[in-house]
Amino acid sequence: MKKQKSKGPLFIKTMVFGAMSGALYYLVFSNVDWVTKTYTMGGWHTVYPVGTALVFSFIHGAFASNLLALLGIEAKGSH
Amino acid sequence: MRRILIFLVIIGAVFLFAQDVLAGGGGPPKNMLKGFFEKVNPDGTAVFLVDTTGERKILVLPKDMKPEDVPMDRKVLVSLVTEGHGHKITNKIKSVSIMFIDLPTSKVIALLVVGLIGGLLSGFIGSGGAFVLTPAMMSLGAPGAVAVASNMCHKFPKAMVGAYKRWKYGQADIKLGVFMAVTAIVGVQIGIQIQKYILDHWGNAGSNLYVSLMFVIVLVVVGAYVFYDAYKLSKGGKEAETTKLAKKLQSINLPPMIHFKTAGIRISAWFTIPVGVATGMLAATIAVGGFIGVPGLIYVIGASAVVASATELVIAFCMGMWGSIQWGLSGLIDIRLTLLILAASLIGVQLGALGTTYVKDYMIKIVMGAVMLIVAVSRGAKIPGYLADLGLRPPLDPSTTSFLNSVSFWALVAALGTAGIIISAAMIRGMLQARAEGS
A1: which chain B residues are within 8 Å (Cβ-Cβ)? none
Q: Give the model's confidence band at B23: pLDDT under 50 very low, under 70 low, under 90 confident, else very high.
A: very low
Q: Does B91 touch chain A (CB under 8 A)?
A: no
Q: Which conformational region is residue B54 in: left (phi greater than 0), alpha (psi within -120 to 50 degrees), or beta? A: left
Q: Is the residue at A46 inside a domain?
A: yes
Determine the 3-state secondary structure of B11 from DSSP.
helix
Establish if A34 belongs to a structural domain: yes
Nearest CA in chain B to A43: B329
Nearest CA in chain B to A24: B339
8 Å CB contact of B339 and A56: yes
Q: Which bin fits B257, alpha (ψ -120 to 50), beta or left (φ > 0)? A: beta
The pLDDT tens digits of the residues spanning B334-390 come to: 999 999 999 999 999 999 988 888 888 888 888 888 888 888 888 888 888 888 877
Measured from the Cβ of residue B302, the count of other Cβ atoms closer than 10 Å reads 25
Question: Is B29 strand, coil or helix?
Answer: coil
- Residue A64 belongs to a domain: yes
* Binary contact (B331, A48; C-beta < 8 A): no
Nearest chain B Cα distance for residue A41, angstroms: 5
In a domain, A51, yes or no: yes
Burial of A13 (0-12, 13-18, 19+ CB in 10 A): middle
| Domain edges within chain B | 32-98, 102-419
What are the chain A neighbours of B351 within 8 Å (beta carbons)? Answer: 68, 73
Q: Give the residue from B346, B356, B378 showing the smallest Cα distance to B422.
A: B356
C-alpha–C-alpha distance, residues B62 and B51, integer Å: 22
CB A24 within 8 A of CB A56: yes
| Interface residue A33 vs chain B (CB under 8 A) | no
Tell me if chain A has a CB within 8 Å of the CB of B430: yes
Q: Is the pLDDT of residue A49 over 60?
A: yes
In a domain, A44, yes or no: yes
Nearest CA to B280 among B312, B242, B240?
B312
Residue A37, min C-alpha distance to chain B (Å)? 8
pLDDT per residue over B197-247, tens digit each?
Answer: 887 777 767 777 777 788 788 888 888 988 888 888 888 766 677 788 888
- Confidence (pLDDT) at A59: 95
Nearest CA to B290 among B104, B110, B123? B123
Residues B361, B346: Cα–Cα separation, whole Å: 23
- Tell which residue, B385, B410, B379, has the closest CA to residue B398: B385
Point out the residue among A29, A47, A76 whose CB comes nearest to the CB of B358: A76
Quick: pLDDT tens for B264-295.
Answer: 888 888 888 888 888 888 877 766 777 888 88
Distance CA A66, CA A72 (A): 10
In a domain, A66, yes or no: yes
Parent domain of A28: 17-70
Query: How far is Cα A69 from Cα A49, in angstroms, rounded to an integer?
Result: 29
Please answer whether residues B365 and B305 qualify as being in contact, where contact means their C-beta atoms are separated by less than 8 angstroms.
yes
Closest-CA residue to B108 (of B348, B334, B343):
B343
- Look at chain A and report how many structural domains it folds into: 1
Q: What is residue B438's predicted lDDT score, i.e. its pLDDT?
A: 73
Contacts of B329 in chain A (CB under 8 A): 42-43, 46
Question: Is residue B68 classed as helix, strand or coil in its secondary structure?
Answer: helix
Neighbouring C-beta atoms of residue B411, cutoff 10 Å: 19
CATH match for B32-98 among 2.40.50, 3.90.550, 3.10.50, 2.60.40: 2.40.50
B97-122 per-position pLDDT tens digit: 888 988 999 999 999 998 998 899 88
Instruction: Give the C-alpha separation, B310 to B179, whole Å.
Output: 14
pLDDT tens digits, one per residue of B147-203: 888 988 999 999 999 999 889 888 899 988 998 888 888 888 888 888 778 877 777
Task: Choose among B153, B161, B354: nearest Cβ to A74.
Answer: B354
User: Measured between CB atoms, does B354 come within 8 Å of chain A?
Assistant: yes
- Asked whether residue B260 carries a pLDDT value surpassing 80, the answer given is yes
Higher pLDDT among residues B103 and B396, named by residue = B103
Give the whole-angstrom CA distance, residue B196 versus residue B203: 9
B157 inside 8 A of chain A by CB: yes
Please report the ipTM that was assigned to this predicted complex. Answer: 0.92
Residue pLDDT, tens place only, A16-44: 999 999 999 999 999 999 999 899 988 89
Q: Which residues of A are less than 8 Å from B145 in CB distance?
A: none
Distance, C-alpha B248 to centroid of its chain: 31
| pLDDT number for residue B14 | 47
- Cβ distance B346 to A54 less than 8 Å, yes or no, reads no
Chain B interface includes A70 (CB < 8 A): no
**CA B288, B293, B298 angle in degrees (round to 5)?**
145
Does A42 sit within 8 Å of B34, measured CB to CB?
yes
What distances in angstroms separate CA B256 from CA B7, B17, B97, B244, B428, one per listed residue?
Answer: 7, 21, 51, 22, 44
Q: What is the pLDDT of residue B5?
A: 53
Nearest Cα of chain B lies from the Cα of A23 at a distance, in angstroms, of: 13
Instruction: Answer yes or no: are the C-beta atoms of B351 and B426 closer than 8 Å.
Output: no
Nearest of B21, B168, B132, B290 to residue A76 by alpha carbon: B168
Q: Decide if B156 and A28 are in contact by the 8 Å CB cutoff.
A: no
CA distance B17 to chain A (A): 23
Name the percent of chain B lying above pLDDT 90: 12
Between CA B138 and CA B149 the distance in angstroms is: 12
